[in-house]
Structure 1
Amino acid sequence: MKTAALPRLMKIWLYVVLVVLALPLVSMLVLSLNQSRYGTFPFHFTLDWYATLGNDTALIGALETSLTSPPRPRSSPSSSAPCSRSAWRGAGSTSRSRSTACCWRC
């Protein structure tokens, strides 16, 4: 094999990989424009699925929260109040969840 053929084979391999990765995305986009629920033929063009997504208030609220909320800074430990294992709610239980922790270190 000539060394000049190697870059050509690498380009072909790159194109094959890109097509394999993009094909599911393109097919989902095309099938989402079909009126049929199961992606059958004949193909009837519609944007009803996207209108339904636009009317979903929970989805729109979650999208707004994701795009507008700044990340919360992690609270720093307080040097005046050391962490105490007895400060757990339900002390003595072996399960320790983050929501019942006494401080950020627990």
Structure 2
Amino acid sequence: MKRFPALFSKIYDYVIKNNPDFKNKVAEGFHRHYSLAGLRKLLNSSNFNGHFKVERVFKSGLVLGVLNNNLRASLRRVVGVRAARALLFPLAWLAGVEYWIPFGPLSYNIAVAIRKQ
């Protein structure tokens, strides 16, 4: 696993080298991952400070969604978008099912419903 980030960096560099416009499509600086505590801290550091109530929290997904996205990003470069989508259709379907399974603290996704007070 230690080699995966280096491998991913090499693939990303290859994509940028062969498609300079790709970098413009990536929303650099806007992609973040938050825990529930991190989301609360973010909201409390904004104008919502003390003026919101967390009503519902849903933590879901484990590995299939992430695996599907990474495989699709890699396969698109090799076999094209349509073939990658076709090859990964069963995995994408399973990832969609897995999304609705609550895995608690092991979950990859978090959905939070808040109400402004």
| TM-score, normalised via structure 1 length | 0.25
Instruction: Return the structure number with greater strand share.
Output: 2
Bigger radius of gyration: 1
| TM-score, normalised via structure 2 length | 0.24
Higher relative CO (CA 8 A, sep ≥ 6), structure 1 or 2? Answer: 2
